[in-house]
Amino acid sequence: MVDDSPLHKPLRPKDGTAGIERPRALADSIPEQAGPLLALASRHVVSARQFDRATLEQLFRLSAQYESTPALMHLPLQGKILISAFYEPSTRTRLSFESAWHRLGGDIMSITDPKSTGMAKGESIQDIAEMFNNYGDVIVLRNNEDRAVYDMLDSLRIPIVNAGNGIDEHPTQALADLYTIFKWRPDLLDQDLPADQRIRVGIIGVPNRMRTVRSLLLLLARFPEAVDEVVLFTDEDSPFDPDQREELESAGLRLRVARDLDSELPGLDVIYINAIAWVGDGYEELGTDLKLSTQSPLKPGSIILHPLARGEELSTDLDPTPHNWYFAQARGAVFVRMALLTCMVRRVSEVMDTP
């Protein structure tokens, strides 16, 4: 190679990937239990509501083990086929799932062009489900209609993962969000956490119109003793569905709605920001004043999460700061999906420490 080119800099990890050294500490802080993971075998994963605390802890433990293991000695999904069906366009989530499946040794068939499918020709969702039964071992489905994934369940003989259904849910994104928080602070899993160690979480988004926010709130409600308060930032007058707020509060989550982001930021430990809301056939952006940059009055030591892709609401000048945990969050999403998929195809016993 010619050596005078800027192309020849050796590749090095960037500052923006804070957190990749921490999964080992998280894994060590959680005692292994086989039961909750074995119970995921052949289960559909449609809603964040399905996960209890013990299952979440064990999933995060396994995710952290995968993340801290550079190369797997054993590929537990060899010979297994994933049907990666993205009827709503998405590159990021699709590649994240497909990378997870490939790293476990499995094969993949992708559907990326909705117009080429039977669904576009008017085939029923039940017949598509029956087709999937014959061709693969697990389905990952993204669809812009809330009902599609639910309408498939009765026809399926293989498990399905909801990778985003309209404005309803995106449970594996929420798993990745919480996994990031616990990598940052494994002590938050301590059920006797002192009250002054609890975190205050700000969420910029609309709970009844953003699937990522809906699923995240459901998972946070499994850890009420770790959360002092959740502050929701939105311009909406009615940001909750009728029963949504009640379900969360009855689980012990303390919720408050606010509009002025900057006056709250100095008191928030975790800020979750999301650019995009699915509305009908298109995307809607949030209010323009709900933005983060290095000019924002962020609390020292606080972290920012974002499911990505981002728009102008999250300035790139935050990328090289310690507040940037959104890159770690994206990276971690692959390992969370590896953990979940391993369990769903009944192969978790092959990767547990105590067989």
51-70 positions binding its own copies, by CB under 8 A: 51-52, 55
Closer to its own copies by CB, 10 or 194: give it. 10
Chosen residue from 69, 133, 144, 296 binding its own copies by CB under 8 A: 133
Q: Which of residues 270-289 bind its own copies (CB under 8 A)?
A: 283
Residue 39 class from Cβ within 10 Å (0-12 exposed, 13-18 middle, 19+ buried)? Answer: middle
Closer to its own copies by CB, 42 or 263: give it. 42
Q: Is 44 in the site for its own copies (CB under 8 A)?
A: yes
Which residues have C-beta within 8 Å of that of residue 166, sequence separation ≥ 6?
143, 144, 145, 146, 211, 278
Rg (CA), the chain: 20
CB of 246 to its own copies, least distance (A): 17
Residue 90 corresponds to which amino acid? S
Q: Is 95 in the site for its own copies (CB under 8 A)?
A: yes
Which residues have C-beta within 8 Å of that of residue 322, sequence separation ≥ 6?
18, 301, 303
Closer to its own copies by CB, 118 or 266: give it. 118
Closer to its own copies by CB, 174 or 268: give it. 174
Chosen residue from 15, 89, 246, 252 binding its own copies by CB under 8 A: 89
Chosen residue from 25, 153, 258, 279 binding its own copies by CB under 8 A: 153
CB of 105 to its own copies, least distance (A): 8
Q: How many residues bind its own copies (CB under 8 A)?
A: 85
DSSP 8-state class, residue 201: E
Closer to its own copies by CB, 86 or 179: give it. 86
CB of 220 to its own copies, least distance (A): 15
Which residues have C-beta within 8 Å of that of residue 209, sequence separation ≥ 6?
167, 236, 277, 278, 279, 284
CB of 353 to its own copies, least distance (A): 21
Q: Which of 196, 184, 334, 197 is nearest to 272 (CA)?
A: 184
Q: Which of 267, 273, 280, 355 is nearest to 312 (CA)?
A: 273
Q: Which of residues 325-354 bind its own copies (CB under 8 A)?
A: 327, 330-331, 333-334
Q: Which of residues 286-315 bind its own copies (CB under 8 A)?
A: 308-311
Sign of CA dihedral 81, 87, 89, 90: negative
Choices 153-161, 237-245, 264-272, 289-297 (CB under 8 A): range interacting with its own copies: 153-161
Main-chain phi, psi angles of 241, to 5 degrees: -70, 160
Q: Is 321 helix (H, G, I), strand (E, B) or coil?
A: coil
